[in-house]
Amino acid sequence: MTKLLILIAAYLLGSIPSALIVGKVGFGIDIREHGSGNLGGTNTFRVLGVKAGLIVTISDILKGTLAASLPVLFHVDIHPLIAGALAVLGHTYPIFAGFRGGKAVATSGGVLLFYSPFLFFTLLVVFFLVLYLSKYVSLSSMLAGVYAIIYTIFFTNDIPLRIGVTLLALFVFYRHRANIKRIINKTEPKIKWL
């Protein structure tokens, strides 16, 4: 019963729609009706600005971190990556926002922040390096996922981490399939601040 409660709590944590809350409370708008319609940090940056984007991105990261930590905090025999994965599903398909959520990047990162901090911080380096060179947030997110897979294959013997990172990266690619088409067609929006 305790295991089930932890897993439900992890999903519900992930389901907290940070972008929707910030949009409605801070700006009086439903961000799903603006920009890409996505409930994530990137759309928040574009629609509401840097301050709101940072709040949403950090909140989405911390959802994953907190969810992954639940089994440890409550001494429950569940692998942190499983609880974290449920938070990612909650973020992507949030019960509190009609199951229309974000693209799994920030919350996946938050899971890794708890479970493998070094991997998380090197992921940030890869993300911002690709972002600087390409100006595509979507491409940066996907290539950071590729890096995470390579890292776990060559620099760790943690099999659950390898499996978890591979599944999260594949899910990120799946969530960005429309972005991939736009990148190929050269219609994907580029950032202008870097």
- pTM for the full model? 0.94
Tens-binned pLDDT, residue by residue, of the chain (194 aa):
799 999 999 999 999 999 999 999 999 999 999 988 889 999 999 999 999 999 999 999 999 999 999 999 999 999 999 999 999 999 999 999 999 999 999 999 999 999 999 999 999 999 999 999 999 999 999 999 999 999 999 999 999 999 999 999 999 999 999 999 999 999 999 988 77
In a domain, 138, yes or no: yes
29 burial level (CB within 10 Å; 0-12, 13-18, 19+): middle
Residues 82/70, Cβ–Cβ less than 8 Å: no
Specify the number of domains making up the chain: 1
Residue 8 structural domain? 2-184
Asked, for residue 193, whether it belongs to a domain, the answer is no
**Does residue 130 fall inside a structural domain?**
yes
Closest alpha carbon to 48 in 96, 57, 136, 128: 57
Residues 6+ apart with CB under 8 A from 191: 131, 135, 136, 137
Flag whether 91 is in a domain: yes
Whole-angstrom Cα distance, residue 96 to residue 131? 31
